[in-house]
Amino acid sequence: MKFIDEAIIQVIAGKGGDGVASFRREKYIPRGGPDGGDGGRGGSIFAIADRNINTLIDYRFSRIYRAKNGQNGQGSDRYGRSAEDIVLRMPVGTLIKDAHTDQIIADLVHDQQRVLLAKGGGGGLGNLHFKSSINRAPRQFTYGEMGQEFELKLELKILADVGLLGMPNAGKSTLIRAVSAARPKVADYPFTTLYPNLGMVRVDHNRSFVMADIPGLIEGAAEGVGLGHRFLKHLTRTRLLLHVIDMMPMDEDKDLVHEAHALVKELQKYDESLFQKPRWLVLNKTDMMPEEKRAELCRQFIEKLEWKGKYFIISALTGEGCKLLTYAIMDYLEQNMLPQTDCSVSVNEWQDSC
């Protein structure tokens, strides 16, 4: 299935049914009085998070969602039928915004989380409601209310604890294959990964975390080079970034230090908060180095990079060092456990502002 992470949709709630002015007409019963019923409520539109969906592809090609109107009231105290609501199922991690103001309406971070997108109009009142001691034959009734209508922007930001960051062909997909059950495409050419992949890394019994692999980022991505910044948003929810570096690139003249600094600059251009996230270095493909020189070459690279944080020496292909890396990640996540926040605004607050 094609991976789609953005869509714009229009939601139109149903109009409420009109009330009716009616009077009881029966043989031998003079002055039967008012018996006009109320109109039914218009259908509302809801969004619900579903963990079994992982793409917004349905909303890319079907963009208008219109709920039915409520039925009009009728005589003999018969009320109109309310219209059925529409429920739109979206992936967990979907951010819903007003397409015109960019205001966040809801952030679907929990499975089965439900939010109102457009409220159906209330039904009108029949003349039965206007009867009084001084108005025995009211002819007043009210029309149903119009349903709400909005244009919404959907953005899917996948939920993961750890994000893999690196240049194309750094071995990110091989790493996620080595430590999880995910099976992204792997090949010996750049940009093999064209869309994000998720993998569940199980460290011990009841100890696991989710890792996200996104397409490679290169210098100039802010100007649209390569795949640009399009997929970096999928790392904004992560708590830890792993900067994967290919220690044995196919081009021997590559300046690894310059590439590492360039990637970090692109990260900062995209989002300062993402740049400030905890980041570890993962020196990959060390199985291709002479074993006796491996530690020294990695140490020289760390010194040239002037890196002061944590780093790990691994081979995603052979699995060497991967277990130590996953245990360190698990320990870090458990020590820095943060509650998942829901940045939804009050639906009434958003709708009132519209």
Residue 64: half-sphere exposure toward Cβ, Cα within 13 Å: 2
The per-residue pLDDT for 216 is 66
Q: What is the 3-state secondary structure (H, E, C) of the chain?
A: CCCCCEEEEEEECCCCCCCCCCECCECCECCCCECCCCCCCCCCEEEEEECCCCCCHHHHHCCEEECCCCCCCECCCECCCCCCCEEEEEECCEEEEECCCCCEEEEECCCCCEEEEECCCCCCCCHHHHCCCCCCCCCCCCCCCCCCEEEEEEEECCCCCEEEEECCCCCHHHHHHHHCCCCCCCCCCCCCCCCCEEEEEEEECCEEEEEEECCCCCCCHHHCCCCCCCCHHHHCCCCEEEEEEECCCCCCCCCHHHHHHHHHHHHHHHCHHHHCCCEEEEEECHHHCCCCCHHHHHHHHHHHHCCCCCEEECECCCCECHHHHHHHHHHHHHHCCCCCCCCCCCHHHHHHHC
Q: Are residues 185 and 296 in the same domain?
A: yes
Give the pairing type, strands 162-166 and 240-246.
Answer: parallel
Residue 253 one-letter amino acid: D
Tell me: do 269 and 174 sit in the same domain.
yes
HSE, side-chain direction, 13 A CA sphere, residue 80: 30
In this prediction, residue 259 carries a pLDDT of: 87
What are the beta bridge partners of residue 340? none
Q: Do 144 and 189 sit in the same domain of this protein?
A: no
Q: Could you tell me if 134 and 265 lie in one domain?
A: no
CA dist 306 → 205, 258, 302 (Å): 38, 12, 6
Residue 137, amino acid: A
Q: Is 113 within 8 Å of 49 (Cβ atoms)? A: yes
Residue 337 φ/ψ, nearest 5 degrees: -70, 125
Question: Within 10 A of 26 (CB to CB), how many other CB atoms are there?
Answer: 8
pLDDT confidence of residue 293:
86
207 and 131: one domain?
Answer: no
Indicate the residue among 156, 186, 221 that finishes a domain.
Answer: 156
Residue 99, in any domain of the structure:
yes
Please indicate, yes or no, whether residues 149 and 173 belong to a single structural domain of this protein.
no
Q: Which of 156, 178, 197 corresponds to the end of one domain?
A: 156
Is 346 inside any structural domain? Answer: no
In terms of Cα–Cα distance, which of 305, 181, 314 is closest to 242? 314
Q: Identify whether residues 231 and 99 lie together within a single domain.
A: no
Last residue of a domain, one of 110, 125, 156: 156
Domain CATH code at residue 140? 2.70.210.12
Domain that holds residue 103: 6-156
Q: How many domains does the chain have?
A: 2
Residue 255's pLDDT is what? 86
- Check whether residue 104 and residue 71 sit in a common domain: yes
225/260 Cα distance (integer angstroms): 17
Query: Residues 170, 150: one domain?
Result: no
Whether residue 79 is contained in a domain is answered as: yes
> Please, which residues bridge with residue 242 across strands?
164, 280
Taking only the tens of pLDDT, the chain with its 354 residues reads: 456 778 999 999 999 999 999 988 877 777 778 888 999 999 999 999 998 888 888 898 889 999 999 999 998 888 999 999 999 999 988 999 999 988 999 999 899 999 999 999 999 999 888 888 888 888 899 999 999 999 999 988 887 889 888 888 888 888 988 888 777 666 554 555 566 778 889 988 888 888 888 776 666 655 555 555 667 777 888 889 999 998 888 777 788 898 888 888 888 887 888 888 899 999 998 988 888 888 888 999 999 999 988 999 999 989 999 999 999 999 999 888 754 444 444 455 555 555
Within-domain flag for 352: no
Is 31 a domain residue?
A: yes
CATH number of the CATH domain containing 276: 3.40.50.300
Is the residue at 324 inside a domain?
Answer: yes
Contacts of 41 by beta carbon, 8 Å cutoff, 6+ apart:
14, 16, 17, 70, 82, 83, 120, 121, 122, 123
Has residue 213 been placed in a domain? yes
Q: Which residues, other chains included, contact 185 with Cβ-Cβ below 8 Å and sequence gap of 6+?
A: 173, 192, 193
Do both 171 and 139 map to the same domain? no
The predicted pLDDT at position 330 comes to 92
- Same domain for 189 and 98, yes or no, is no
Residue 353 lies in a domain: no
**What is the C-alpha to C-alpha distance for residues 207 and 204, in angstroms, rounded to an integer?**
5
pLDDT at res. 1: 44
For residues 115 and 350, the answer to whether their CB atoms sit within 8 Å is no
Claim to verify: residue 210 and residue 116 sit in the same structural domain: no
**What is the distance between the terminal CA atoms of the chain, rounded to a whole angstrom?**
36
**CA gap 232, 264 in Å, rounded:** 12
